[in-house]
A and B are shown apart, each in its own frame.
Chain A
Amino acid sequence: AQSVTQLDSQVPVFEEAPVELRCNYSSSVSVYLFWYVQYPNQGLQLLLKYLSGSTLVKGINGFEAEFNKSQTSFHLRKPSVHISDTAEYFCAVSNTGGFKTIFGAGTRLFVKA
Chain B
Amino acid sequence: KAGVTQTPRYLIKTRGQQVTLSCSPISGHRSVSWYQQTPGQGLQFLFEYFSETQRNKGNFPGRFSGRQFSNSRSEMNVSTLELGDSALYLCASSRTSGAAGTDTQYFGPGTRLTVL
B110 touches A43 (CB 8 A): yes
B104 touches A32 (CB 8 A): no
Q: Which residues between 84 and 116 of chain B lie within 8 Å of chain A, taking CB atoms? A: 90, 92, 97-102, 104-110
B27 to chain A, nearest CB (A): 17
Which chain A residues border B44 with CB–CB below 8 Å? Answer: 103
Is A96 an interface residue when CB atoms closer than 8 A count as contact? yes
Interface size on B, residues (CB 8 A): 26
A96 touches B108 (CB 8 A): no
Query: For the complex, what is the distance from the CA of A41 to the CA of B37, rounded to whole Å?
Result: 12
Is B55 an interface residue when CB atoms closer than 8 A count as contact? yes
A98 touches B42 (CB 8 A): no
What is the count of residue pairs linking A and B with beta-carbon distances less than 8 angstroms? 66
B43 touches A90 (CB 8 A): yes
Known pairs A44-B90, A90-B43, A102-B45; A32 contacts B100 (CB<8 A): yes
A contact patch SS: loop
Nearest neighbor of B41 in chain A, beta-carbon distance: A105
Which chain A residues border B100 with CB–CB below 8 Å? Answer: 32, 92, 94, 98-101
A97 touches B101 (CB 8 A): yes
Is A29 an interface residue when CB atoms closer than 8 A count as contact? no
A selection of 13 A-B contacts at a CB cut-off of 8 Å is: A36-B107, A43-B90, A46-B105, A46-B106, A92-B43, A98-B99, A99-B55, A99-B98, A99-B99, A102-B45, A103-B35, A103-B43, A104-B42
Which of B's residues lie within 8 Å of A, judged by CB?
4, 33, 35, 42-45, 48, 55-56, 58, 90, 92, 97-102, 104-110
